[in-house]
Structure 1
Amino acid sequence: MSLLALQRTFLDFLLDQPTEIPVAVNGGAGPGLAVYHNAYSAQLVACLKDSYERLWAWLGDDAFEAAARHHIGLHAPTSWTLGDYGIGFADTIDARYPEDPEVAEIAALDWALRRAFDGPDASPFDPARLAEIDWDDAVIHFVPTLELIPVRTNCGAIWTAIAASDDVPAAQMLPEPAWVRVWRVDLQPHFATIERTERDAIQLAASGVTFARLCDRLAETSGVEEAVLAAGRYLTSWLQDGLITDIQ
């Protein structure tokens, strides 16, 4: 057996794939192979537990470990850092729990918050500069860690209760689809559940349209008066929450 073939066989062994490695190495290597096998899986499970702490709490030890080992069997690490190994785990969870959408949404929220924590730094906009803004041509720039996650359940309330060690509510479907915006202020990730109209406003602003044009677009569906009120309400919220890094 060539070195490359042996390496591939060893990887299959670590991933619990059918392999002939027991007959490809010295018969006394069994205990050593078992150490490698257990250490490999245990390290990746620990990595997923660290990245998906609230999901782990929601599922419990046994269910989380089963899902983690299933994911490990499907996806070997491809990055130089184990911090990236959580990529795609929410998709694995979604496929594993198709009848429980809150599970995948908690996973997606866990991962988005982890990405926000590891994301690039940005200073929030200074509200003292608002007086100098020409709002007809002003373009809003959001912090680079801002992410929008579509949700159908009360995953945000579940996540918050778990994090605070409060009584955790039962999973429920929302009256209508919503979104969770995730971002970071200083070193602290944050999230908030938002309505469709705010999601639309964020996407419009992030695309580079002016604030005046954003108001016009909102008015197409809600009327001028409501659009102006909504745009002002969103702008105030974004400034207070530290979502905006610049307005030019």
Structure 2
Amino acid sequence: MNLAQWQQAFHTWLVSASDESAQVLGNNTAGLAVYQNNYRAQLVGCLEQAFPNLRRWVGDEAFLAAAISHIDRHPPHAWTLDVYPEGFHLTLGELFPNNPDVHELAWIESSLNEAFVAADASPLPMDVLAAVDWDTAHLQLTPSLRCHGLTTNAEAIWSALWQQTPAPEAVMLAEAGGLLVWRRQFTSRLRQVDALEYQALVHLQGDGSFVGLCDFLVERLGVEEGVEKAGEWLAGWIGSELIVGVVDDLPVSHFSEL
């Protein structure tokens, strides 16, 4: 057996503890179990560190069971454990199908972690906007931005847990909305928005055109209110550093450092 085959057998043992892989490795089950326990403990610790508020919300026992289920289904796929927590909220969606607050909380914590290590971007200087041709302008969103639909009061729950104050009971929102997570300077931010602003930002992520954003809002609000809302949100998004660059179809005016 060459080194590559031995490494593959050892990987298989860590992930599944199969009899076949144990036999290939010498059938020293007790000794191999030490390595597997250490492997699992590191991954559980990784998830516990990434989701402290979620763990407090669901309880240690339920969190550990969910972590083990995730580890069994999804072994690490990258060279660093920093990315391992990214899919945990999807596993929770399967394990807690009737508790959307749980997977929305997990999404919040995972996205805050992702935003913190996302690529840097410089704020867009306000004085450059006067020279922009808005008929051809494409808006560039900060690379740390994450958007997700919201159906529960998960934002209020997470905020209370983060501040170590009593958290409210989970309830469904009267109207679905959205969550935004991004990094501003050196701090990850979380904001709850209404459904229309969430949909507008998702649309902007896919299209980027300011005219397209205006058309999107005009279809839903009418001409006057739609154009007014586009201008209002544009100013707010630039001020919050959600928008970090503007690119014209003519000469390129790019003010972000991506």
Instruction: Name the TM-score, length of structure 2 as normaliser.
Output: 0.84
* Mean Cα deviation higher: 208-217 or 99-108: 208-217
* Mean Cα deviation higher: 89-98 or 189-198: 189-198
Alpha-carbon distance in structure 2 between the residues aligned to 1:123 and 1:179: 25
| Contact 1:9 1:19 (C-alpha < 8 Å) held by counterparts | no
Percent identical residues? 37
Any idea what SS the aligned residue of 1:43 has? helix
Instruction: Name the TM-score, length of structure 1 as normaliser.
Output: 0.88
Q: Is residue 198 of structure 2 the alignment partner of residue 204 of structure 1?
A: no
Change (3 A) 1:79 1:25: closer
User: Which amino acid counterpart does residue 241 of structure 2 have in structure 1?
Assistant: G
Alignment length (residue pairs): 247
User: Which amino acid counterpart does residue 90 of structure 2 have in structure 1?
Assistant: D
Give runs of ≥4 in structure 1 deviating > 4 Å. Answer: 1-13, 20-27
User: Which amino acid counterpart does residue 147 of structure 2 have in structure 1?
Assistant: L
Alpha-carbon distance in structure 1 between the residues aligned to 2:230 and 2:166: 35
Alpha-carbon distance in structure 2 between the residues aligned to 1:217 and 1:34: 57
Alpha-carbon distance in structure 2 between the residues aligned to 1:6 and 1:131: 64
Q: Which residue of 2 aligns with 1:233?
A: 232
Change (3 A) 1:216 1:50: same
Q: 1:130 offset after TM fit, Å? A: 2.7
In structure 1, runs of 5+ residues without a counterpart are none
| Superposition RMSD in Å | 2.5
Q: Which residue of 1 aligns with 2:194?
A: 195
User: Which amino acid counterpart does residue 194 of structure 1 have in structure 2?
Assistant: V
Any idea what SS the aligned residue of 1:87 has? helix
Change (3 A) 1:134 1:13: closer
| Contact 1:155 1:171 (C-alpha < 8 Å) held by counterparts | yes
Q: Is residue 70 of structure 2 the alignment partner of residue 71 of structure 1?
A: yes
Q: Which residue of 1 aligns with 2:157?
A: 158
Q: Which residue of 1 aligns with 2:19?
A: 19
Alpha-carbon distance in structure 1 between the residues aligned to 2:166 and 2:144: 30
Change (3 A) 1:204 1:165: same
Q: Is residue 175 of structure 2 the alignment partner of residue 176 of structure 1?
A: yes
Alpha-carbon distance in structure 1 between the residues aligned to 2:2 and 2:137: 64
Alpha-carbon distance in structure 1 between the residues aligned to 2:32 and 2:83: 26
In structure 2, runs of 5+ residues without a counterpart are 248-258
Change (3 A) 1:234 1:18: same
Per-residue CA deviations over 1:137-191 (Å, capped at 9, x if unaligned) read 3321111111211121111111111111122111111112211111111221112
Per-residue CA deviations over 1:81-104 (Å, capped at 9, x if unaligned) read 111212321111111111111111
| Contact 2:9 2:25 (C-alpha < 8 Å) held by counterparts | no
Q: Which residue of 1 aligns with 2:251?
A: none
Alpha-carbon distance in structure 2 between the residues aligned to 1:141 and 1:75: 33
User: Which amino acid counterpart does residue 198 of structure 2 have in structure 1?
Assistant: R
